[in-house]
Amino acid sequence: MFMKTHKTASTSVMNIIERYAVKHNLTIALPNGGNADQFDYPNPFHERMVFPLLHGQDRYDVICHHMRFNSQQVNKILPRHVAKYVT
């Protein structure tokens, strides 16, 4: 879980994480709304904001887009006991 912050070159870091995820066949939790760069920001994150898993995928491995953090909802997508948080 990359906790993206504004105006700190975080888009560059997000891009590196996304490339790593693609190279290693990891599943990225993508925004479900009209803006592909953020999870309905500035509204608090909710699991319904995430594009559904595709057939054959059983979990998300990476969340790295803009969001207003909501730990209870994020844990439904990427449980804290398996996640590494970076900001």
Predicted confidence (pLDDT) per residue in 69-86, tens digit? 999 999 999 988 888 888
Predicted confidence (pLDDT) per residue in 24-61, tens digit? 999 999 999 878 889 998 899 999 999 999 998 999 99
What is the reported pLDDT for 49? 96
Q: How confident is the model at residue 8 (pLDDT cuts 50, 70, 90)?
A: confident
The secondary structure of 13-79 as a DSSP string is HHHHHHHHHHHTTPPB--B-SS-TTBSSTTSBP-GGGBPPPPTT-----B--SB-B--HHHHHHHS-
- Is residue 37 within 8 A of residue 18, CB to CB? The reply is no
Q: For the chain, what are the domain ranges?
A: 10-77
What is the reported pLDDT for 3? 74
What the block records as the tokens of 17 is 């994480």
Phi, psi for residue 17 in degrees, rounded to 5: -65, -40
Between 65 and 7, residue with greater pLDDT: 65
Average pLDDT over residues 1-29: 87
What is the reported pLDDT for 7? 77
Phi, psi for residue 66 in degrees, rounded to 5: -55, 135
Q: Give how far the C-alpha of residue 72 lies from the chain's centroid of Cα atoms, to the nearest Å.
A: 14
pTM for this entry? 0.84
